[in-house]
Amino acid sequence: MGFLDKLKNKAQQAKGRGKEEAGYQTGDPYLEAEGRKDRVSGGAKQVGERLKDAGKEAKRTFER
């Protein structure tokens, strides 16, 4: 399920970038802030996925 989670997080970041840019272009600070929130949230989730992957890799390394 890790791959799908990573894909969803990337999609959330892309959606956030789109909202942020649309808010900037239209002068809507609320839409811009919502896009920034989505982008940052997706990035934080990506970091969590990378930590899980690193933990799994470390576990595999020391099991041998």
Q: What is the mean pLDDT of the chain?
A: 93
pLDDT at 53: 92
**Is residue 64 in some structural domain?**
no
pLDDT at 38: 96
Count up the domains in the chain and report the number.
1
**Is residue 6 in some structural domain?**
yes
pTM passes above 0.85: no
pLDDT at 1: 62
Residue segments in the chain with a per-residue pLDDT below the cut of 50 = none
Picking from 3, 1, 4, 5, the residue whose alpha carbon sits closest to that of residue 44 is 5
**Is residue 63 in some structural domain?**
no
**Is residue 17 in some structural domain?**
yes
CA 46 to chain centroid, in Å, comes to 5
Residue-number span of the structural domain to which 16 is assigned: 2-58
